[in-house]
Chain A
Amino acid sequence: MASAFLLDMTRCIGCEACVLACKAGNQLPVDTQYIELIEHTSGTFPDLTGGFQNHRCYHCADATCVAVCPTGALFKEDGLTRLDRDACSGCGYCVQSCPYEVPVMSDGRSSKCDGCAANVGAGGSPWCVTTCPAKALEFGVRDAILAKAKERVAAIKDRYPKAQIYGETQAGGLGLILVLPDDPETLDIPADPPDAPAVVDLWKHVVQPVSMGATVLAAAGAGVLGIIARRNHMAELREVEETEKAGVSSGDPDTEDV
């Protein structure tokens, strides 16, 4: 039976207890965190709304990272996306392909929330859920979590007319069900994450299961790498754009070398 997190952003007060509980409970390296809180603001003073994006693994049912992972280090289990760091080869395909830009490289291997597999397996809850002072986080059977999220949304419509659930359908259905006060874009969450491209599908459902020929592997691999290269290119373009918008010198070589 699939499990899921409930993350109620109308309750989250941005205290970052989840961030530190995760770091402590999972004994993460000091410079690694699986959860990051990012403040977002809409409007102009004094007509403002705002909140935090609780940036972490969304545990996609159709997980691109799992599809592109060449070693099986990333895999689906109980509706969640697990990571076996021992099996990770450090190729970074997951980092490049995640529609939510979640995994990062840490000590040469992929690093992201695995739903506290060990902790839950031992009969506990994920560390972030256990500690959350706002009770913005819960964990349980996905169907029950989804039903609870729907109840929550119905209950807060007066205060938040645009309240909505996020994650019921996105990326095949997420293992992280969000209760949002407003449209997901206000927290910089894509309303519809890009679907896993066809070539990823090919990789996952055709190439990986069969005993693959080198040619097919190379072709599909090239396709995946192509996607990744394009992503990188787009990211670079975005960066340049943002830098220019911010009015910061991007280091003009003509003026630098005087």
Chain B
Amino acid sequence: MARVKLDITRRQFLATGLAGTALLGTGMGPGRSNLAMRYPDPPWFATGEVVTTYNYCDMCPWRCGIAVQSVDGKVIKIDGNILDPKSRGKLCGRGQAGVSFMNDPDRLQSPMIRTGERGEGKFREVTWEEALDYTAEKILAIKDTYGPEALAIFGHTTGDFWFTDYFAQAWGTPNAAKPSSSLCLSPRDEASKLTFGFPVGGHEPMDWDEMECITLIGSHIGEDSRNTVMQDFVEARARGAQVIVVDPRFSSAAAKADYWLPIKPGTDTALLLAWANVLITENRFDRAYLDEWATGLDELTAHVREFTPEWAAPITDLSAEQIRATARVMSDRSPRAVIMPGRHVVWYGNDTQRMRAEFLVNSLLGVYGRHGGMYFNKSPFLEAYPHPPFAVTGSSGGCSAEPGEESDVLPLGPTGKARADGAREAFLRGPTAMQELIDPMITDDPYRIAGLVVYGVNLLNSIPIPNRTIEALKKLDFVLAVDVLPQEHVAWADVVFPEATYLERYDELSPIAHKTPYIQMREPAVPPMYDTMPGWMMARELGLRVGLDAFFKWETIEEYLDTRLRSVGSNLEKMHDDGGVIIQEGKPYLEDFVADGETPFHTASGKIQLASEDLAGAGFDAIPVYEPTEEPPEGYYRLLYGRVPVHTFAKTQNTPALSAVYPENELWINEDEATALGYVTGDRVWLENDNGDRSGPIAVKATQRIRKDAVFMAHGFGQNAEGLTNANGRGASDTKLMSRYKLDPISGGGGMRVNFVRLVEGG
């Protein structure tokens, strides 16, 4: 089996991290430096030539451009790529730990085929030849018996393109899904499409440089350590921008806020409607902007008349004065005042409407296309590698792919089957909903899904109701797990493909829709460790074995990438020499469109839809209304979850350097509540939901920083995976405490803030 060819000649002998930082003119003489230099002795960058390779980080989905520094074939240090518009030479803690992620001794090292029962985690190591042949045989059998649609493909992280997008479409299954859609962004992007005619996009188009007021609803910048957003937030605030934070918890961002609104969970739409009421009744909205660029102002005006701050106050547990004051702070600075669209918006199952309400307030503030508001992002031009027409197009969607044009007719697979996730019936629109594909695996309704490929999704620590997922795993004919680590679900696979990490492989180019559209590259710093393989090679080798040769015409990944780059006047070598990015020109502001006689809004009317005809036509409210969410039963708390800065999803808990800094999650509970229950910080408790499911033990963090009706923990802990030395059994799992979710009937998002827990002793 061919291994990845490592092209040494292209390497650039420059330590970006060193060369890129200017010293503020210290007069450092040699002094006793001979002594000082002995620790470490000598420092790594003095032990040999420092070789820089360019990459985009895979430690979270944000895709910061990075410069990877290696010496003597060992990767030592990762820095933000100075030329990359996302990282600008900076990098978060997770990105810094990429080397630790790669060198994790728990990594999957060889392809494996199951020998024991599913779930036992018993495997024999096999050659790639055998693993690939066996997999091809199994999925072809599924295709012959049930059709290609019967193979579901789940993918996550920055390499998911090859399986979830490319292979899935070539193979012909519409049942490809990413958690970044229905378990994260779907409601936000569907709301944006309904309102503005385009999704928010992977990189939120906040025009931070000129922003004067930032409102965060649940976004916990700092704990959510997306590099660019932290940079921009801190800079805007230091420049004097006002910060309004709406969060039941006194987050790191709330501690930086000028106004903190500790809202009752689940009532955000009431707050947003009241803000709209203030802006309209006090004539504090951008009438000229809306007259030119929006429809439905009269309906909106009539709709929000009754939703006064006095109406919202008892619902939200905020004061009418707070609501009114913050609306005025925003309007005084509009259009340089933005409510950040945020991420992971799947909360209560009414999430598309809540996001619509947010976008309506933003529209009243006149933000889109305005300096200091939100810009129109643009995707970079980059031609695809020539391939035959796909067997099914636009199947998956997610952060890195368009879900295809919305239409009344869903794309059909080769044997005439549409997605099995209930789209158009259980929910209106949006990319394939991963959590809705689990039931069909169990019930064969609407048709049998017999095979599952899992690329990089931590299946049992991401999808709610994990017991249901296990039931599905038991019933499937075939399960392939592609991963770097022996995650919990890997024990349920029939075949395991161990992947080379992002530092060990070439990969698809990364196009970033941005104010300045640009393209990132991924080149290996070192060859794959152990008997691992890059995802692109697995997809290709599998493709060649199942009759998809026409889609994998390229002999080497270098040829594939060079061919694509030629369409933008570059190639791998040139792109490397140019510093790892190709930056194009954007079209960010309204005036750019006016000059061209175009509208930036791609709704049917070409205008912002304050009242949505699409929604009204489908039987939904044209303008959002507030609907109460279920309250916690007596003695229970609403389970909230989020991030800590050094971990991503359920992916990094085992990474040695990150585990050392934050080894297990803590349960934030209001100090007075904890005292009443007899707990203090550091006590270890278990959590039990109202369905009797338990997870723990988890350390109590008794704090004033959270409301009394909710508890909070970092997501991704409480994993049960014996092969993960650092992550196994550490802390509690929010996912395992989710015995329910609430389906958003518009976007297919799975609302997960609808679970309630209490503190109990013992597991």
Interface residues of A (CB under 8 A from B): 1, 3, 10-11, 13-17, 19-21, 23-27, 30-31, 33, 41, 43-46, 48-52, 75, 77-78, 82-87, 114, 117-125, 127, 129-136, 138-141, 144-145, 159, 246-248
Q: A86-B38, A122-B43, A246-B682 are in contact. Are A133 and B255 (CB under 8 A)?
A: no
Q: Once bound together, how far apart are the Cα atoms of A141 and B25, in whole Å?
A: 6
Q: Contacts of B33 on A, CB cut-off 8 Å?
A: 77, 117, 121
Q: A20-B658, A45-B262, A86-B38 are in contact. Are A122 and B45 (CB under 8 A)?
A: yes
A41 lies within 8 A of B24 (CB) = no
Please give the distance in Å from A83's CB to the nearest CB on chain B.
7
Q: Contacts of B657 on A, CB cut-off 8 Å?
A: 20, 23-24, 30
Q: Once bound together, how far apart are the Cα atoms of A117 and B30, in whole Å?
A: 11
B661 lies within 8 A of A138 (CB) = no
Please give the distance in Å from B213's CB to the nearest CB on chain A.
14
Chain B residue nearest in CB terms to A1: B27
Please give the distance in Å from A233's CB to the nearest CB on chain B.
24
Please give the distance in Å from A161's CB to the nearest CB on chain B.
14
Chain B residue nearest in CB terms to A46: B262
Q: A121-B37, A133-B234, A247-B680 are in contact. Are A43 and B97 (CB under 8 A)?
A: no
Interface 1/0 per residue, B68-82 and A, CB below 8 Å: 000000001111100
Chain A residue nearest in CB terms to B261: A46
Chain B residue nearest in CB terms to A76: B32
What are 12 sample pairs from A and B whose C-beta atoms fall under 8 A apart?
Answer: A1-B27, A17-B90, A24-B100, A27-B76, A77-B36, A118-B37, A119-B18, A119-B45, A121-B37, A130-B79, A134-B231, A247-B680
Q: Once bound together, how far apart are the Cα atoms of A19 and B231, in whole Å?
A: 17
B97 lies within 8 A of A24 (CB) = yes
A-B pairs, 3 with minimum CB distance: A140-B24, A1-B27, A13-B222
Stretch at the interface among B137-145, B282-290, B344-352, B701-709: B701-709
Interface flag for B2 (CB, 8 Å): no
Chain A residue nearest in CB terms to B262: A46
Q: Contacts of A15 on B, CB cut-off 8 Å?
A: 92-93, 222, 225, 230, 645
Q: A118-B42, A135-B231 are in contact. Are A17 and B96 (CB under 8 A)?
A: yes
Q: A48-B250, A48-B255 are in contact. Are A24 and B36 (CB under 8 A)?
A: no
Chain B residue nearest in CB terms to A111: B39
B44 lies within 8 A of A27 (CB) = yes
A139 lies within 8 A of B23 (CB) = yes
Chain A interface, >50% SS class: mixed
Among A43, A48, A130, the one with the most B-chain Cβ atoms within 10 Å of its Cβ is A130
Interface flag for B466 (CB, 8 Å): no
Of the residues A19, A25, A48, A131, contact of B661 by C-beta under 8 Å: A19
Q: Once bound together, how far apart are the Cα atoms of A52 and B645, in whole Å?
A: 13
Interface flag for B617 (CB, 8 Å): no
Interface 1/0 per residue, B214-254 and A, CB below 8 Å: 00000001110101101101110010000000000010110
B90 lies within 8 A of A131 (CB) = yes
Chain A residue nearest in CB terms to B37: A118
Chain A residue nearest in CB terms to B253: A13
Please give the distance in Å from A32's CB to the nearest CB on chain B.
8
Of the residues A1, A50, A83, contact of B255 by C-beta under 8 Å: A50
A144 lies within 8 A of B234 (CB) = no
Please give the distance in Å from A157's CB to the nearest CB on chain B.
12
Q: A13-B234, A30-B656 are in contact. Are A123 and B682 (CB under 8 A)?
A: no
Q: Once bound together, how far apart are the Cα atoms of A211 and B91, in whole Å?
A: 50
Q: Contacts of B577 on A, CB cut-off 8 Å?
A: none
Q: A30-B100, A77-B33, A117-B39 are in contact. List 5 more A-B contacts (CB 8 A).
A: A13-B233, A13-B234, A15-B645, A17-B90, A77-B36
